[in-house]
Amino acid sequence: MQHHVFTIAKVCEYYGVSNVIICPGSRSAPLVYAFTRNPSFTCYSIIDERSAGFVALGLAQQTQKPAVLICTSGTAVVNLFPAVAEAYYQKIPLLILSADRPPEFLNQQEGQMIMQKGVFGKHVLGSHELLCFDENTIDYKLTERIVTDALEEAISEKGKGPVHINVPLREPLYDTPKYVSLPAIQTIKSRSKGETAIPLPHFELFTSAWTKSKKKMILIGGFPVSKNLHHLLELLSKKNDLIILTDVCSNQNKFCNATNYDFLLKLYGKNIPEELCPDFILSLGGPMVSKSLYKWLKEIKVPFHFRLQFSAEPIDTYGNLTHLLEADVLAYLEAFNSLNIKSQDGDTVYFDTWKKLNGSTKTKLQNFHEKEIWCEPTVVDKILNLLPAGSLLQVGNSSAIRWVSWNGVNHKNINIYSNRGTSGIDGCLSTAIGAALAQPDKKVFALLGDISFLYDEHGLWNNYLPPNLKIMVINNKGGNIFNWIDGPSNHAEELNFFTTPHTRDLKIVCESYGIKHTSIHNFEALKTFFQKEKAGIEIVEISFENNHGLNSFLSVQIKK
């Protein structure tokens, strides 16, 4: 056995890595030994590689520390790709260790062997390969340096993300791993070294533009929970010429002063009042869910749009970016707040119009929900209000995240996450499982559509199902979002090719995994579920047999 793999585990231990996801296989046996025999790691065996990748992502998403992901050689590696891509765009640290056969066997009809080196392309921050040593020629220091470089890339202050190390291994793979005296680690890099001054690009221009502008807006996309950002926004939110729009996954929704902006902009469509247009935008964090916001900002001209991020690659989602602020987000905002800059008299019409229209939109939503029509948007609104304080909500993509965004997050103590890096439905359930494993003391809820759930049902195929997780499935019998988005809904003959109609019985699915199933068909049952909620993983199926309530909800937009 090539004992340099124990060096991989030793470097990971030094960096404080604790969670390891292992996909069963033969070629990866030495890697399994290296991590399972080290008490510093909590190891999980997840059979399905695609699910395993998202479980690792959920764990790393909550801890903000790298999770190690181990798989065997061959196509097992590419099954990790969806989670790797999601981690890349969400900037979540993962260390992927793919076992491989010796390089001289590549393309020689050797079984379970593909071109693994660099297989993830541009979707990783770094791609490395260890040497395939003979037993008596192992270079422990070289292995240490490569793993150190990889972990430094994964946790870079300029942006975390996934990093891949391909590990070719010669046989024997299963000889008893005897104790190996590894050299002391000496090449670990110090992340505290470097520039002492905090770079503040365009700082004078930024402060000048802020002072001159009378209609300011801050956009906060997906962001991990941050008490420091919370404090900074608390100071900024006191300004009466500033509108703060937070994405439902920003985890800063307390400071959104137009909580129903998504549905407000949808109501007005192409007739959004000019009074709402800002003359200054500061954007930070990940993408925003709201498609209406996206369309609107693409159409308007803004004199100043500053994008604050640590990475150098410009993100110009709306096509109106004027300045990239390549800096640490919190350091930049702290420096700005410390100046206590007083703006000129703001545009009261701008601020008052936002508040007035948001209030009327909220009233329209409340009036509709009070009718208690059994439809998806009203049920999601009820769920958001029934969730226990301090809980964590993992929302699936497609319609589920849109219902949350349209209703707005008024519950101040819920942390919300979703796989919005690539916005795919694959892995939403597995990510929620990883999140619940990382937060055992929190109540964790997953809100998924039926197709998202069924696509990832193998996420339930493991021995670590967390008892603090409740999985709520909106079952509309398949891809209902295509019934109401522009395009597919206008082509009735081909609609079944856009949607995913199915006859799967979720109760039978639950029974096959030995998981409790609860069926809910009315608001009283929904309320009772939250009042009498008990510990233990559970799947709550919320069924919808028709679409009349959904159409009623969407018709609100023409009643301005």
Single residue among 289, 316, 349 that ends a domain in this structure: 349
Residues 227 and 141 in one domain: no
Q: Is residue 176 part of a domain?
A: no
Residues 89 and 126 in one domain: yes
Q: Percent of the chain having pLDDT more than 90?
A: 70
Residues 99 and 237 in one domain: no
User: How many structural domains comprise the chain?
Assistant: 3
Residues 316 and 376 in one domain: no
Residues 29 and 160 in one domain: yes
CATH number at residue 448: 3.40.50.970
Is the peptide bond preceding residue 103 cis, with omega within 30 degrees of 0? Answer: no
Q: Is residue 360 part of a domain?
A: no
Mean pLDDT of the chain: 88
Supply the range of the domain harboring residue 51: 5-168
The string of pLDDT tens digits covering residues 449-488 is 999 999 999 999 999 999 999 999 999 887 666 555 555 5
Name the nearest CA neighbour of 327 among 89, 155, 157, 125: 157
The string of pLDDT tens digits covering residues 265-307 is 999 999 999 999 999 999 999 999 999 999 999 999 999 999 9
The string of pLDDT tens digits covering residues 210-264 is 999 999 999 999 998 888 898 888 888 877 889 999 999 999 998 999 999 999 9
Q: Is residue 189 part of a domain?
A: no
The string of pLDDT tens digits covering residues 126-173 is 999 999 887 677 888 899 999 999 999 999 877 899 999 999 998 878
Q: Is residue 297 part of a domain?
A: yes
Residues 436 and 490 in one domain: yes
Q: How confident is the model at residue 190 (pLDDT cuts 50, 70, 90)?
A: very low
Q: What value does the CA radius of gyration of the chain take, rounded to a whole number of Å?
A: 25
Residues with Cβ within 8 Å of 55's Cβ and at least 6 positions away in sequence, in order, are: 21, 44, 46, 430, 431, 433, 434, 437, 459, 462
Q: Is residue 358 part of a domain?
A: no
Separate counts of helices (H) and strands (E) for the chain: 20, 17
The string of pLDDT tens digits covering residues 343-367 is 666 678 999 999 999 999 999 999 9
Residues with Cβ within 8 Å of 285's Cβ and at least 6 positions away in sequence, in order, are: 219, 220, 221, 222, 223, 247, 250
Residues 378 and 283 in one domain: no
Residues 387 and 486 in one domain: yes
pTM: 0.90
- Residue 175 predicted with pLDDT over 80: no
Write down the pLDDT at residue 484: 55
Write down the pLDDT at residue 467: 97
- Residue 434 predicted with pLDDT over 60: yes
Residues 15 and 152 in one domain: yes
Write down the pLDDT at residue 340: 79
Write down the pLDDT at residue 262: 96
Q: Is residue 154 part of a domain?
A: yes
Residues 113 and 238 in one domain: no
Q: Is residue 83 part of a domain?
A: yes
CATH number at residue 254: 3.40.50.1220
Q: Is residue 228 part of a domain?
A: yes
Give me the DSSP letters along 28-77. THHHHHHHHT-TT-EEEEBSSHHHHHHHHHHHHHHH-SPEEEEE-STHHH
Write down the pLDDT at residue 194: 45
- Residue 110 predicted with pLDDT over 50: yes
Single residue among 168, 186, 220 that ends a domain in this structure: 168
